[in-house]
């Protein structure tokens, strides 16, 4: 499968009479863009706000991030969700690189919603502080969710995807600044020298713990809770086959933006034929019942063993209950003779003294930590708040508590509530140090 990603690098964003990309400037016709948002009658009030790196802006509650894209040939964007159900991962996709659509609640947040600071110490915590953010700030008529800690946020999350597709259309017929090509051949097409390299798989454990549909990550538009672990060509992931769900503490979330830009997968693709034989991506789920966890771990091992894998990387979305799925998968791999590295964040408590994972095994002897969800952050006030700051404490954000917001607008909170802070897909500059 061959996928071409044509990148158009954004230098700035502004509003104007026409939605157009020219000389590095993305100009947005706000009225036209909002008409796309209001196509869903559940959206009752919406605005678009631009937030640039180093602006004195705090954004919360953030629900998802989506990269502006346009499918030029060979399929559909987000198949099975906003477009026809067809295979992803082939043809050409054009991308407005450096830009991002953030879905932001105008008022209501929840356990799974996060905060982004565009400047100051808080900006170091998440990659989204370094992008040109096109903030869709909206309210919906989903009143039954307003006072629920767990929210599906369906209308707003889908509106952000539609808006990102609308913006991407302006570069459909243009020539990109640069082209990334991802072309992982099938096993029977491999050169002999590649067949001799260490055979490696990547396992992506998607958040899918909620029994009711609408909260969980989606694979080709289908709730990940309903699936067994599945082998996927890496191009499918990079081309929109997986969409972020709503459930998961914010720092641990893998956004839709990060799925299509999964840096670990991109690096594995670059290393294919050089240092490794990359066999593909096993997309799995994170479950609640022990039998479900065991079933998924068993299937992951069976798929990898059938491919002849010798090494594996397991990426967990989240922490807590999912740690059992994570450790079970690693243990199954190690028992099968597949050397495994795990990537996850940890919850060591505010004093750093708690057990980092709920479940542990001596077989999990190569783990990469992407951060401590309980780390306390003290953030100065910002001149502008996009969304509603009160949602941090009022609506159960997993990083806030009563008293987090000070009288001067400064904040004391856990890393838990910073949007996608721990970047388990590798899309951040955090450094891992072994002590």
Judged by average pLDDT, the poorest of 91-95, 183-187, 224-228 is 183-187
Query: Is 395 within 8 Å of 108 (Cβ atoms)?
Result: yes
Would the pLDDT of 134 be above 80? Answer: yes
Number of helices and strands in the chain (H, E): 9, 24
Q: How, if at all, do strands 367-372 and 277-286 pair?
A: unpaired
Question: What is the mean predicted confidence (pLDDT) over 32-39?
Answer: 98
The pLDDT of 289-295, averaged and rounded, is: 95
Beta strand 132-140 with 218-219 is: unpaired
CB 44 within 8 A of CB 124: no
Residue 146 pLDDT class (50, 70, 90 cuts): confident
* CA neighbor of 202 nearest in space, from 286, 307, 115, 104: 307
Q: Which residues of 408-435 are buried (b: 16+ CB within 10 A; e: fewer)?
A: eeebebbbbbbbbbbbbbbbbeeeeeee
* DSSP per-residue codes, 259-308: HHT-HHHHHHHHHBTTTBEEEEEEEEEE-SSHHHHHHHHHHHHHHHHHTT
Whether residue 378 has pLDDT greater than 80: yes
pLDDT tens-place string over residues 326-361: 999 999 999 999 999 999 999 998 888 888 999 999
In whole angstroms, give the CA distance from residue 257 to residue 240: 9
pLDDT of 210-219, one tens digit each?
Answer: 988 899 999 9
Assess whether pLDDT exceeds 70 at residue 434: no
Rounded to an integer, the average pLDDT of 4-31 is: 98
Is the predicted pLDDT of residue 432 greater than 70, yes or no?
A: no
Model confidence at 435: pLDDT above 70: no
> Is residue 186 predicted with pLDDT exceeding 70?
yes
pLDDT tens across 262-275, in order?
999 999 999 999 99
Percent pLDDT > 90 in the chain is 89
What are the domain boundaries of the chain?
2-417
How far apart are alpha carbons 97 and 134 in whole angstroms? 13
What average pLDDT does the structure give for the chain? 95
Q: How many CB atoms lie within 10 A of CB 348?
A: 17
Mean pLDDT of 127-153: 93
Over residues 16-45, mean pLDDT: 98
């Amino acid at each position: 499968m061959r996928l071409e990603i044509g990148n158009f690098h954004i230098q700035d964003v502004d509003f104007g009479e026409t939605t157009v990309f020219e000389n590095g400037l993305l100009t947005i016709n706000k009225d036209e863009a909002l008409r796309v948002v209001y196509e869903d009658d559940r959206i009752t009030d919406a605005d678009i706000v631009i937030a640039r790196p180093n602006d004195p802006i705090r954004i919360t509650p953030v629900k998802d991030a989506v990269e502006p894209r346009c499918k030029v040939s060979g399929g559909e964007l987000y198949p099975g969700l906003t477009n026809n159900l067809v295979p992803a991962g082939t043809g050409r996709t054009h991308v407005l690189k450096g830009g991002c659509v953030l879905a932001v609640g105008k008022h209501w947040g929840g356990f799974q919603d996060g905060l982004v600071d565009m400047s100051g110490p808080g900006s170091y915590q998440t990659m989204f502080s370094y992008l040109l953010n096109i903030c869709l700030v909206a309210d919906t008529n989903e009143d039954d969710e307003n006072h629920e800690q767990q929210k599906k946020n369906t209308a707003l999350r889908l509106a952000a995807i539609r808006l990102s597709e609308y913006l991407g259309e302006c570069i459909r017929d243009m020539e990109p600044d640069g082209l990334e090509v991802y072309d992982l051949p099938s096993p029977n097409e491999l050169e002999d020298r590649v067949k001799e390299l260490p055979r490696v798989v990547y396992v992506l454990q998607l958040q899918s713990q909620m029994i009711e549909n609408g909260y969980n990550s989606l694979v080709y538009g289908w709730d990940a809770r309903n699936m067994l672990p599945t082998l996927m060509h890496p191009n499918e992931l990079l081309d929109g086959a997986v969409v972020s769900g709503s459930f998961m503490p914010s720092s641990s979330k893998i956004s839709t933006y990060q799925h299509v830009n999964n840096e670990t997968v991109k690096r594995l693709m670059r290393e294919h034929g050089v240092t490794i034989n990359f066999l593909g991506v096993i997309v799995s789920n994170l479950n609640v019942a022990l039998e479900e966890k065991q079933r998924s771990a068993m299937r992951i091992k069976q798929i990898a063993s059938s491919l002849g894998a010798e090494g594996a990387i397991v990426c967990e979305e989240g922490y807590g209950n999912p740690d059992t799925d994570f450790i079970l998968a690693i243990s199954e791999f190690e028992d099968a003779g597949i050397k495994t590295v795990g990537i996850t964040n940890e919850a060591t408590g505010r004093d750093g003294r708690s057990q980092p994972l709920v479940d542990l095994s001596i077989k999990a002897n190569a783990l990469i930590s992407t951060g401590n969800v309980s780390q306390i952050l003290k953030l100065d006030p910002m001149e502008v708040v996009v969304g509603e700051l009160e949602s941090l404490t009022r609506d159960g954000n997993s990083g806030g508590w009563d008293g987090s917001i000070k009288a001067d607008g400064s904040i004391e909170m856990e890393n838990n509530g910073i949007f996608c802070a721990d970047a388990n897909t590798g899309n951040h500059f955090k450094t891992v140090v072994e002590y």
